Amino acid sequence: MEMAMQSLKYLGMMFPLWLAISANAAPSIQSEPIQPIPKAVIKNPAMVELGKKLFFEPRLSKSGFISCNSCHNLSTGGSDNLSSSIGDHWQQGPIRSPSVLNSSMNVAQFWDGRAKSLQEQASGPIANPREMASNHVLALDVLRSIPAYVNEFNQVFGRKQITMQEVTQAIAAFEETLVTPDSRFDQWLKGNKKALNAQELRGYQTFKTAGCVACHNGPAVGGNSFQKMGLVAPYQTSNPAQGRAGVTGNDADRMAFKVPSLRNVALRAPYFHDAGAPTLEAAVSTMGKLQLGRAFNQQEIGDIVAFLHTLTGKQPQIVLPILPASSNNTPHPTPFN
């Protein structure tokens, strides 16, 4: 309760600053709680191209069926739009997959933040028995058995010896390019007053004045902090995930999850770590009650949802890679029924 009161007091102090900006005026980017997403800067095209192949490479899984893109589908907002991702032997994971789009802007990776970087995150699913269900030794054996991969790793890293360090570095390099700039909201931030209509502008003002921006701010509109799910009132769920407490062992971190980015949020229903909100309307209503102690009326919900739709940016236009052929020495997959 003390944490909730402190958070609400902080919001009360900040509201006058956010209210000072008129919705009808050209905004000052520096004074807004949200900033435009910068375009990706590709420093090593060859590494990015290798990472793209590995992102779509199903042979990194035990079954030869599951790739990174299976759960982080770049055609559907960087997630799988399922309440719980499907892994090896049709196992359901304990939590829904977060979007890989703009994930380079996250303070950490996974809902509980157990991976500090994209590179650290990339190694986890390969060896997770409920996801890709392989192991690092087997995954490397697969890559080392394919001459075209050996040559490509040699061209990118200057040696033919393939290690997991290089695999995850390449995947992370590709994922860093998966940003979605130039949304209509970004255009408005940059001074195009015609980019948003009246309802969308009302929604943004309500989003600010209600206090949503206390957690959903910055270029990614979130992703940069951990917050307790159910700050004002407990969140009721049957999902077993405990948030940061599972990483820190600190009971005070129970139900504290990484705040999701709201970029492209309209593309990836259902919502929350447990998929507890089937629609954006339901998510906005629940967040108002549990995080802000506020019951939004139907117009406010509709306005905020209209604003959230303006956060959909230009999606990465990915040309699917042609993966190199296996050799006679490539370990055979273990398919599941």
Residue 212 in marked binding region = yes
Residue 89 in marked binding region = no
User: Residues with Cβ < 8 Å from 182, sequence gap 6 or more?
Assistant: 37, 39, 313, 314
The residue among 115, 294, 264 whose CA lies nearest residue 180 is 264
Distance of CA 221 to the CA centre of its chain: 11
Rounded distance between C-alpha atoms, residue 62 and residue 106, angstroms: 29
DSSP 58: G
The amino acid at residue 123 is S
Burial of 158 (0-12, 13-18, 19+ CB in 10 A): exposed
Residue 136 in marked binding region = no
Residue 287 in marked binding region = yes
Segment (H or E) for 7: helix 2-19
Q: Which of 57, 131, 152, 175 is catalytic?
A: 131
Residue 309 in marked binding region = no
Rounded distance between C-alpha atoms, residue 299 and residue 192, angstroms: 25
Burial of 175 (0-12, 13-18, 19+ CB in 10 A): buried
Rounded distance between C-alpha atoms, residue 121 and residue 78, angstroms: 15
Question: In angstroms, what CA-CA distances link 266 with 81, 312, 336?
Answer: 11, 7, 34
Residue 71 in marked binding region = yes
The residue among 23, 2, 14 whose CA lies nearest residue 204 is 23
User: Residues with Cβ < 8 Å from 131, sequence gap 6 or more?
Assistant: 61, 66, 71, 85, 87, 88, 93, 124, 125
Determine whether 131 is an active site residue.
yes
Bind-site residues for heme c: 68, 71-72, 212, 215-216, 287
Bind-site residues: 68, 71-72, 212, 215-216, 287
Residues with active-site annotation: 131
